[in-house]
Structure 1
Amino acid sequence: MSLDPATKTQLLDMVERFVKERLQPAEEQVERDDAIPADIVSDMRELGLFGLAIPTEYDGLGLTMEEEVEVAFLLGQTSPAFRSLIGTNNGIGSQGIILDGTEAQKTHWLPKMAAGEAVGSFALTEPDVGSDAASIRLTAERDSEDYILNGTKRYITNAPIADVFTVLARTNPEVKGAKGISAFLVPATLSGISIGKPDKKLGQRGTKTADVIFENCRVPAQSIIGGEAGKGFDTAMKVLNRGRLHIAAICVGAATRILNDALAYAMQRKQFGQPIAQFQLIQAFLADSRAELMAGRAMVLEAARKRDRGEKVNLDASCSKLFCSEMVGRVADRALQIHGGAGYMAEYAIERQFRDVRLFRIYEGTSQIQQLVIAREMIAAVDE
């Protein structure tokens, strides 16, 4: 159910103030320390940001997809680390439970996630398994009423601070591809789980990613999401479809911030006796960026509204993720060029932003995977 207009306005105003007054001033500290300050995490909990997309019956705010992307347009206007922390709880960390979990799984985990008391993490990628997610090798061998997990997951967001992992594992080695995969809810405290050293990344400092290693980790059979083995890949794809819309909205937010910064710089930076914003080639950079930003925003909103209406959005989500992640890269490149030599210096935010946005074209489905999904959906529609 949608928020009433007054409540929605109040929420968006609150998030906008929080981004501008608390998060943006802390960006340099996050970049320097590679960590989010504890007091900001506490504020996020108090504001309910960990539970934006979790249903109200489990103590979340229960935002619609359209409302969530409008919040993401604002959260994208600061360091991705802040969004990554709360976004995993609202997205890939909780959505598998929301969409396919048993009532017991929902009751146990979702209120904790909504309150920020439990941080979720989605463990899909492996050392030799990335875009080909159906080739998962981590094994889950049945042993009486339990499963024994063995294998490694890689580049797992929130791994060093996670309280529960959604783990995609192969429960039926005889079945190749997607049908032999199940999704498990695995508490991080179980014996047999270890976390690798934190990854050092090109950008998005402050986000925590690492390997998660399972060595004879015993989990009860009732830990399978939905209680039925072999459905994990379907759950993962539903989660990623939704996540792609969210990431597309974050890209729109990031492009908004980058373009605003570039315009402000172009208005105050003078060359040849006038602000560089008066030069037509600079104006072309600004105009192209604004047009692409407007298109991306419209795409995401329309796809979100379709999802809220219960329509299939596989193609729309991939189109939005593809266009917006590529779009924000172009906007960042133009913005750095507008800054000239200054843009290559860490003194200006564009140097960090340029590095940060590069990842959007890779995670939750690379641009090339989105192209394949889009084409496959187009062909399937004709065959129908």
Structure 2
Amino acid sequence: MIPRTLFEHEHDEFRQTVRRFLAERCEPFHAQWEQEHQVPRDIWLCAGELGMLTISTPEAYGGLGLDRRFSMIVTEEIARACVSGLAGFGVHDICAGYLLNFGTELQKQRWLPPMASGECIAAIAMTEPDTGSDLQAITTRARLEGDHSVLNGAKTFISNGTHCDLIVVVAKTGNSGKGSQDISLILVEGGSPGLSRSKPLRKIGMNAQDTTMLFFEEVRVPRENVLGGLPGQGFYQLMKELAWERLGIAIGSIAGCQAVLESTLDYTRGRSVFGKPIIEFQNSRFKLAELKAEIAIGQSFVDRCMELLLQQQLSAQASAAAKMWCSELYSRVVDACLQLHGGNGYMLEYPVARHYLDHRVNRIFGGANDIMRELIARTL
């Protein structure tokens, strides 16, 4: 298929470093992390030492100051290795983006260096028990009392919820009735009085990913912890970062597709039925050929979206299309490849079974795919 031209020599070297870290420090222990429903904090510190956490953060704030292609590599390799417990790295990186692009100088200096090193783990609290993709309908509210904002509400599906030291909370801070103008992002420390966390949420997949509910009861936050210093900017800040978040989901999805295809090719070459390898049956070859072509098309689109992102030209509609199409392709690839494994496809010792459990949420988080269709439809 078409060779990828997006990366340069230093990107390839970094990919080998990431791949080695995952193979040695993560893959052998991932099953244990699934039982514990979290990744140990020392893995975050190791990733921080390798520069994997907030790669595009400038060196002045503790990062490497590198382009988003390095972040893309981390996402691709995590998906390839199917170590879904590390999906929280992407959430952490998104939080760093909010701080870097919208934070005050004091907020950047306080939070970005420990986030780069892995000493501070970040989470974003958007979704509520009764509110999903419609962020303007949230009920979590922060009222002003002197020099503090007092926060009350509940959030759910919080990646990094157990370990988080910093929480970017989406909250109502105004009463104008104009929806988006009443929303702010508030930086809450993980040890704040009045903040409590649920036990890890039980999920059908991504069981090593630390996911909890967060509860805010009269949590007092210094007024200067409103992201950027001015209330009412939260919806705009969220929308500006969503293009990267959704492209990240597309990147992980297409890398997962490729990993599943490669493992299935190996399986069908080595497994025989009626005296010949599965791949020698025309039905198997044609199905695998179709998948290979679709993955190549998806990869080309994702790489082009990354080029546009680097040029600061990636539109919300393009990132929505990439997220929708690639995440749905991931489902088709996993389903077809599991079928080619027969009964073994249902066994967790085979990569396709782990992808089967972990991939499905890609069509939901970052905005459900029907919301992506609505965003695309607005351009018709």
Give how far 1:198 is off: 1.2
1:161 to 148, 160, 163: 163
Give how far 1:57 is off: 2.2
Is the 8 Å Cα contact of residues 69 and 245 (structure 1) preserved in structure 2?
A: no
1:226 to 225, 228, 240: 228
Whole-angstrom distance in 2 between the partners of 1:361 and 1:57: 36
2:103 to 87, 93, 101: 101
Letter in 2 for 1:111: P
Is the 8 Å Cα contact of residues 52 and 71 (structure 2) preserved in structure 1?
A: no
Counterpart for residue 209 of structure 2: 207
Alignment of 1:127-206 (within 5 A): 127-206=129-208
Q: CA RMSD in A?
A: 1.8
Give how far 1:272 is off: 1.1
1:35 to 38, 41, 55: 38
TM-score w.r.t. length of structure 1: 0.93
Whole-angstrom distance in 2 between the partners of 1:288 and 1:33: 38
Q: Structure 1 pair 253/21, CA: closer, same or farther in 2 (3 Å)?
A: farther
Give how far 1:21 is off: 4.0
2:91 to 88, 92, 99: 88
1:195-225 per-position Cα deviation (integer Å, ceiling 9, x unaligned)? 1121000000110111110101111111011
Is the 8 Å Cα contact of residues 39 and 85 (structure 2) preserved in structure 1?
A: yes
Alignment of 1:204-353 (within 5 A): 204-353=206-355
Whole-angstrom distance in 1 between the partners of 2:62 and 2:92: 13
Secondary structure of the residue aligned to 1:36 is coil
Counterpart for residue 122 of structure 2: 120
Is the 8 Å Cα contact of residues 55 and 67 (structure 2) preserved in structure 1?
A: no
Whole-angstrom distance in 2 between the partners of 1:281 and 1:4: 35
Whole-angstrom distance in 2 between the partners of 1:308 and 1:45: 23
Could you tell me which runs of 5 or more consecutive residues in structure 1 were left unpaired when the two chains were aligned.
380-384
Q: Structure 1 pair 227/37, CA: closer, same or farther in 2 (3 Å)?
A: closer
Q: Structure 1 pair 4/349, CA: closer, same or farther in 2 (3 Å)?
A: closer
Is the 8 Å Cα contact of residues 305 and 314 (structure 2) preserved in structure 1?
A: no
Greater CA deviation, 187-196 or 14-23?
A: 14-23
Give how far 1:266 is off: 0.3
Whole-angstrom distance in 2 between the partners of 1:255 and 1:67: 20
Give how far 1:14 is off: 1.1
Is the 8 Å Cα contact of residues 69 and 300 (structure 1) preserved in structure 2?
A: no
1:316-364 per-position Cα deviation (integer Å, ceiling 9, x unaligned)? 1111101111111111101100101111123322222101000100001
Give % identity: 34
Whole-angstrom distance in 1 between the partners of 2:275 and 2:7: 51
Letter in 2 for 1:210: T
Secondary structure of the residue aligned to 1:211 is strand
Give how far 1:294 is off: 1.1
Whole-angstrom distance in 2 between the partners of 1:201 and 1:307: 32
Alignment of 1:53-72 (within 5 A): 53-72=56-75
Whole-angstrom distance in 2 between the partners of 1:307 and 1:212: 32
Is the 8 Å Cα contact of residues 7 and 69 (structure 2) preserved in structure 1?
A: no
Whole-angstrom distance in 2 between the partners of 1:38 and 1:159: 13
Q: Structure 1 pair 96/79, CA: closer, same or farther in 2 (3 Å)?
A: same
Is the 8 Å Cα contact of residues 69 and 301 (structure 1) preserved in structure 2?
A: no
Greater CA deviation, 312-321 or 47-56?
A: 47-56
Secondary structure of the residue aligned to 2:53 is helix
Is the 8 Å Cα contact of residues 85 and 210 (structure 2) preserved in structure 1?
A: no
Whole-angstrom distance in 1 between the partners of 2:176 and 2:157: 27
Give how far 1:25 is off: 3.2
Letter in 1 for 2:32: Q
Q: Structure 1 pair 38/309, CA: closer, same or farther in 2 (3 Å)?
A: closer
Could you tell me which runs of 5 or more consecutive residues in structure 2 were left unpaired when the two chains were aligned.
1-5
Secondary structure of the residue aligned to 1:359 is helix
Give how far 1:58 is off: 1.2
